Structure 1
């Protein structure tokens, strides 16, 4: 009876260890490549703290954008979105009534894993933003909190660009 209980406990322990082992983290980006994608959009996953004055500041309206987009040309800084792993804040540049660039001011960077996720997710989110020309971006698998914070800050900036 003791042997059966011991064998059962060992089997359960082995299964728990087997299923809790992370075999991969998906596609990783080397730390020296950061978040630059070589497109018109630029982003930085440095996670700088930013100043209190920059949070939610309104960009200047340099000229009126094209009639179809509803965006006024200028640079708009979105509000900081607090996520479970750190703040996300970005600014959007609108040129000729279209989103031409997204600069990430803050992103989660509390540890190596957070930086790795940000370096992988943010270029995809920036690319999707420029392609869709809206805050309706596809969330990046494995970066749900970062994607949610990105979308919230982006929507805040785009709301300013419509005023």
Structure 2
């Protein structure tokens, strides 16, 4: 009977150790989020205005909205970064340039870099860029097969337009 009780304790110890090892392995293999500025350098830039609002750029004592880039405004060219958006596979961030009340350029600053994402983005990102330029807003259609990228791209564009105080809309 002594051996029977000792064997049961030994099995409990072995099962406990096996459970602990399994939990540690799962913990270290868990993929955490890749979004946000704490991820490290991947080409991400801080959101907000990048270039001054033209020759009449506000000085340090003026509010950021003083030189609006909205339609019909007379402010010079303004470039703004959108927010870094996680599409589930990595960061998506765009930079928007507005001149004479129109969106004149949209550039991807950060995109997921794995092979599958590169294939999807190689077709989707140029289409999204064209759609933003045509619509003059972030209100663009989602691209089939690139839904998560389309949504993250549009959110980043909208954040850049908001930072530039662009009224948007067709």
Specify every segment of 5 or more residues in structure 2 that has no aligned partner in the other structure, as ranges.
1-40, 56-66
1:61 aligns with 2:53: yes
CA RMSD of aligned residues (A): 2.3
Cα distance in 2 between the residues matched to 1:148 and 1:65: 26
Query: 1:145 and 1:50, CA in 2 relative to 1: closer, same or farther beyond 3 A?
Result: same
Query: Displacement of 1:62 after TM fit?
Result: 1.1
SS in 2 for 1:90: strand
Instruction: For 2:49 and 2:69, locate their aligned partners in 1 and report how far apart those are by CA, in whole Å.
Output: 20
1:75 to 71, 75, 79: 79
Equivalent-residue separation in structure 1 for 2:156 and 2:106 (angstroms): 11
TM-score (norm 1): 0.62
Determine which of 125, 133, 136 is the counterpart of 2:128: 125
Q: Map 1:79-158; keep pairs closer than 5 Å.
A: 79-110=83-114, 112-158=115-161
Q: Deviations over 1:105-156 (max 9, x none)?
A: 111222x211000001000000000000001011110001100110110000
Larger Rg: 2
TM superposition shift of 1:69: 5.2
CA distance in 2, matches of 1:142, 1:70: 37
Q: Deviations over 1:40-65 (max 9, x none)?
A: xxxxxxxx7125xx221323211667
Unaligned runs of 5+ in 1: 1-47
TM-score (norm 2): 0.60
